């Protein structure tokens, strides 16, 4: 008998702005292959089709379309960013604030919960928690909230938005179970949100190695850089305080004092983008820093493959799927010690995000010693083969069964 899941999320590929959408896609694909019936609810209509799961839009209004470039509801926009990015003439589609949108999503979730038959509710990250709570109220069915990131992570522990924090805490308190993407995230939840550790289940993200075919890095610009004897060090992620792009630049400055034949590529976008461009100029390294913008799909894979080293200097990283993406594309990895991915990917170099001296030393070591680069590549790719979405899905199904068994005992 199929388990039926009503799942709430804020984004889904190809309309995703980061790892949350990637995780939702990988998990739902794996769950559906294991006889789990999923209705995945997004807040707004976009052109997404799936033969694996049913996609439902909370505001599925006849005749209303949203162009991809107009789609503001990215999961990592702060309330201030949402307000700044609102487009003239879209008032009938978008609310006055991000919290208005989240509230409306929650209200619509009540109608969706009455429309479908399901056994359990699964909500991804804080923007979907109110929708999950409303569906629970209407249906009486158990709720699982999946924590991919917290306000503590996104802000680095500074200037925390009290309303976002409250929504996160309420969601975790209301839920029958909490899924955390790492032990690091579980500790943050226990220490800062004071959630009973007994209801928190750690389920690491995965990656499907065989979904990444061999891709040639044939960019003319890259070939030219390589022919000139240049090395490439890569940063991929949102250009925000959480991801540590400023520490990446500080480490780059120190590397360039010893080796000028290195280019530092930053692939991503975010609220610190202008600041980081300015900082590169102030550090006197702007001629060695390339800004590639936000990339996805084949373009992103090519960038991974052209790099000699991928660096993830996050201040607080609940997991870090980009590290796995780098490995499957054949590029060694250096991650901050403040990241969850190092719990499952141990054949990587690590450094504290703030220790740019150590970061620079390890970057230079990989660039200077081919044997180190090859050892990291070979060992990490073997390890990542065991980190599949199928295993992530299996653990989620175990949690579903545990929660449903408890639910049926109560009723």
Q: What is the CATH number of the domain that holds 294?
A: 3.40.50.2000
For residue 90, what pLDDT is reported? Answer: 43
Cα separation of 303 and 236, whole Å? 9
For residue 148, what pLDDT is reported? Answer: 97
Q: For tokens 């609220």, what's the residue?
A: 271
Taking only the tens place, the pLDDT of each residue in 380-391 is 999 998 899 999
% the chain with pLDDT above 70: 86
* Mean of per-residue pLDDT scores for the chain: 88
Taking only the tens place, the pLDDT of each residue in 260-273 is 999 999 999 999 99
Apex 389 CA angle, 239 and 399, nearest 5 = 105
For residue 193, what pLDDT is reported? Answer: 98
pLDDT category of residue 68 using cuts at 50, 70 and 90 = very low
- Does 198 share its domain with 218? no
* Domain tally, the chain: 2
Taking only the tens place, the pLDDT of each residue in 98-113 is 898 899 999 999 999 9
What does 154-205 look like in DSSP terms, one character per residue?
HHTTSS--HHHHHHHHHHHHHSSEEEESSHHHHHHIIIII---GGGEEE---
For residue 224, what pLDDT is reported? Answer: 59
- CB-based contact 180:186 (threshold 8 Å): yes
Residue 411 CB burial class (10 angstroms; 0-12, 13-18, ≥19): exposed
- Does 9 share its domain with 153? yes
- Among residues 389, 75, 12, 27, the alpha carbon closest in space to that of 242 is found at 75
- Does 219 share its domain with 146? no
Taking only the tens place, the pLDDT of each residue in 269-286 is 999 999 999 999 999 999
Q: What is the mean pLDDT of residues 194-223?
A: 78
Whether 66 shows a pLDDT value over 50: the answer reads no
Whether 200 shows a pLDDT value over 80: the answer reads yes
For residue 94, what pLDDT is reported? Answer: 40
Q: For tokens 């199928």, what's the residue?
A: 390
For residue 71, what pLDDT is reported? Answer: 40
The helix/strand/coil state of 289 is: strand
Q: Which residues contact 374 (CB under 8 A, 6 or more apart)?
A: none
Q: What is the mean pLDDT of residues 13-24?
A: 86
pLDDT category of residue 46 using cuts at 50, 70 and 90 = confident
- Does 339 share its domain with 357? yes
- Does 285 share its domain with 397? no
pLDDT higher at 217 or 343: 343
Taking only the tens place, the pLDDT of each residue in 35-45 is 999 999 999 88
pLDDT category of residue 67 using cuts at 50, 70 and 90 = very low
Taking only the tens place, the pLDDT of each residue in 302-338 is 899 999 999 999 999 999 999 999 999 999 999 999 9
Lowest-confidence region among 91-105, 159-173, 211-225: 211-225
- Does 153 share its domain with 168? yes
Residue 393 is part of which domain span?
3-206+388-410
- Does 24 share its domain with 163? yes
Lowest-confidence region among 16-20, 60-64, 320-324: 60-64
- Does 238 share its domain with 199? no
Q: What is the pTM of this model?
A: 0.87
pLDDT category of residue 62 using cuts at 50, 70 and 90 = very low
For residue 223, what pLDDT is reported? Answer: 56
Q: What is the mean pLDDT of residues 44-55?
A: 82
% the chain with pLDDT above 90: 72
- CB-based contact 4:118 (threshold 8 Å): yes
Taking only the tens place, the pLDDT of each residue in 72-98 is 445 555 555 545 554 444 444 444 578
Q: For tokens 């090859």, what's the residue?
A: 374
- CB-based contact 265:367 (threshold 8 Å): no
The number of CA neighbours under 13 Å toward the Cβ of 7 is 27
Apex 312 CA angle, 308 and 318, nearest 5 = 145
- Does 215 share its domain with 244? yes
pLDDT category of residue 2 using cuts at 50, 70 and 90 = confident
Whether 214 shows a pLDDT value over 60: the answer reads no
Apex 30 CA angle, 26 and 31, nearest 5 = 115
- Does 152 share its domain with 284? no
- Does 47 share its domain with 193? yes
- Does 226 share its domain with 182? no
């Amino acid at each position: 008998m199929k388990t039926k899941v009503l799942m709430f999320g804020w984004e889904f590929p190809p309309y995703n702005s980061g790892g949350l959408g990637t995780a939702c896609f990988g998990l739902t694909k794996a769950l559906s292959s294991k006889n789990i019936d999923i209705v995945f609810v997004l807040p707004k209509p976009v052109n997404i089709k799936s033969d694996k799961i049913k996609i439902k839009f909370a505001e599925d209004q006849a005749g209303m379309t949203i162009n991809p470039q107009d789609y503001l509801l990215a999961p990592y926009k702060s309330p201030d960013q949402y307000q700044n990015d609102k487009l003239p003439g879209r008032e009938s589609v978008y609310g006055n604030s991000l919290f208005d949108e989240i509230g409306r999503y929650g209200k619509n979730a009540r109608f969706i919960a009455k429309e479908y038959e399901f056994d359990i509710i699964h909500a991804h990250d804080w923007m979907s928690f109110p929708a999950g709570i409303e569906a629970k109220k209407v249906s009486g069915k158990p709720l699982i909230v999946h924590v991919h990131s917290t306000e503590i992570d996104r802000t680095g522990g500074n200037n925390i938005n009290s309303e976002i924090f409250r929504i996160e805490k309420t969601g975790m308190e209301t839920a029958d179970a909490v899924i955390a993407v790492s032990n690091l995230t579980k500790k943050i939840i226990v220490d800062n949100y004071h959630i009973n550790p007994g209801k928190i289940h750690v389920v690491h993200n995965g990656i499907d190695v065989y979904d990444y075919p061999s891709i040639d890095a044939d960019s003319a610009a890259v070939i030219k850089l390589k022919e000139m004897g240049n090395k490439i060090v890569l940063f991929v992620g949102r250009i925000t305080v959480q991801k540590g792009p400023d520490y990446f630049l500080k480490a780059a400055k120190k590397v360039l004092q010893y080796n000028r034949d290195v280019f530092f590529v930053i692939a991503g976008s975010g609220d610190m983008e202008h600041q980081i461009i300015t900082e590169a100029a102030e550090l006197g390294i702007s001629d060695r820093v390339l800004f590639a913008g936000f990339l996805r799909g084949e373009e992103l894979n090519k960038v991974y493959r052209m790099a000699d080293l991928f660096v993830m200097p996050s201040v607080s990283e609940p997991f870090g799927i980009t590290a796995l993406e780098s490995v499957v594309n054949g590029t060694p990895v250096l991650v901050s010690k403040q990241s969850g991915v190092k719990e499952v990917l141990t054949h990587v170099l690590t450094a504290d995000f703030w220790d740019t001296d150590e970061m620079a030393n390890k970057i230079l070591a990989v660039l200077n010693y081919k044997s180190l680069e090859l050892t990291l590549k070979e060992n990490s790719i073997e390890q990542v083969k065991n980190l599949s979405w199928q295993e992530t899905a299996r653990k989620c199904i175990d949690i579903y069964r545990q929660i449903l068994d408890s639910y049926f005992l109560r009723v």
